[in-house]
Copies of this chain bind each other. A is one copy, B any other.
Amino acid sequence: MQEKLEALCQFVQNAADVGDLQVATERLRDHYDVAHIIYHWVNSVGERFGAGTYSQDWVDRYVEKDYLRMDPVILGCLQRFNPVDWKELDWSSRAARSFLREAVAFGVGNQGLSIPIRGPSGQFALFTASDNCDDYAWATFVDENMRDLMIIAHEFNKRALDFEQGGDSAPAPALSPRELAAMTYLAKGLNRAQAAKEMEISEHTLRVYIEAARHKLGALNTTHAVARALSRGLIVV
């Protein structure tokens, strides 16, 4: 078992492209004998990337309906740190329940464990295992394999980060200290006058920072700039 884990990690580490990661999810699914294994993420530019065993129909449907924005698994994991069983999530809204019904109809499975993974620059990814079984069987599976799945999830993300960095050559828009401070105060809800007072500079000067940050971040307005700075992990509120 332990050797098998090593072998799977090795396979992921040696993946030459996204296709190999796809194959890795299939091997993992077979190895753990579950319905699905999925790894996916949204990078800093908003491009989606994923590898998994879901049916193409479901993936298409998911993208078409922009379910990313309301999927309780995504929303729940964004707020958490540790692996989360789907049962612990909030399925109370009507939208969530109809989503769940549809997902099950597409063969996603009624049980799931999702592991949130965060990388530099606000990167966020999700590694998920799902299956069709009763609560007890699932609890047993989770109990036995959680640790291994966490390790594998990290291997996936490591490799995916390699692909990304090779691909788009990380724009890395470093903001100057004052620009970061300005963004931070704005993100905290201060208006320009207040932020300027806090930074002990004139409001005019503050504006220069905000505009500089906007340009560096390729943002359309202040709110956009703050949103980007936040989601790229440049500032923390």
Contact = CB atoms under 8 A, between A and B. Distances in A.
Contact of A70 (B118, B147, B177): B177
A164 B147 CA distance: 24
Nearest to A70: B177
Interface stretch (A15-23, A55-63, A133-141, A185-193): A185-193
Contacts of A69: 180-181, 184, 235-236
Q: Give the one of A80, A224, A233 with max B CB within 10 A.
A: A233
Interface stretch (A28-36, A104-112, A119-127, A198-206): A119-127
B191 A221 contact: yes
A236 B122 CA distance: 6
A79 B222 contact: no
Given A69-B236, A237-B231, A221 B79 contact: no
How large, as a class, is the contact surface on chain A?
Answer: 35 or more
B228 A226 contact: no
A74 interface: yes
Contact of A44 (B122, B223, B228, B236): B236
A25 interface: no
A227 B227 CA distance: 6
A237 B233 contact: no
A174 B91 CA distance: 13
A4 to B, nearest CB: 14
List 9 A-B pairs, minimum CB-CB distance, nearest first: A78-B233, A189-B224, A189-B220, A118-B118, A122-B236, A187-B227, A79-B233, A81-B119, A223-B223
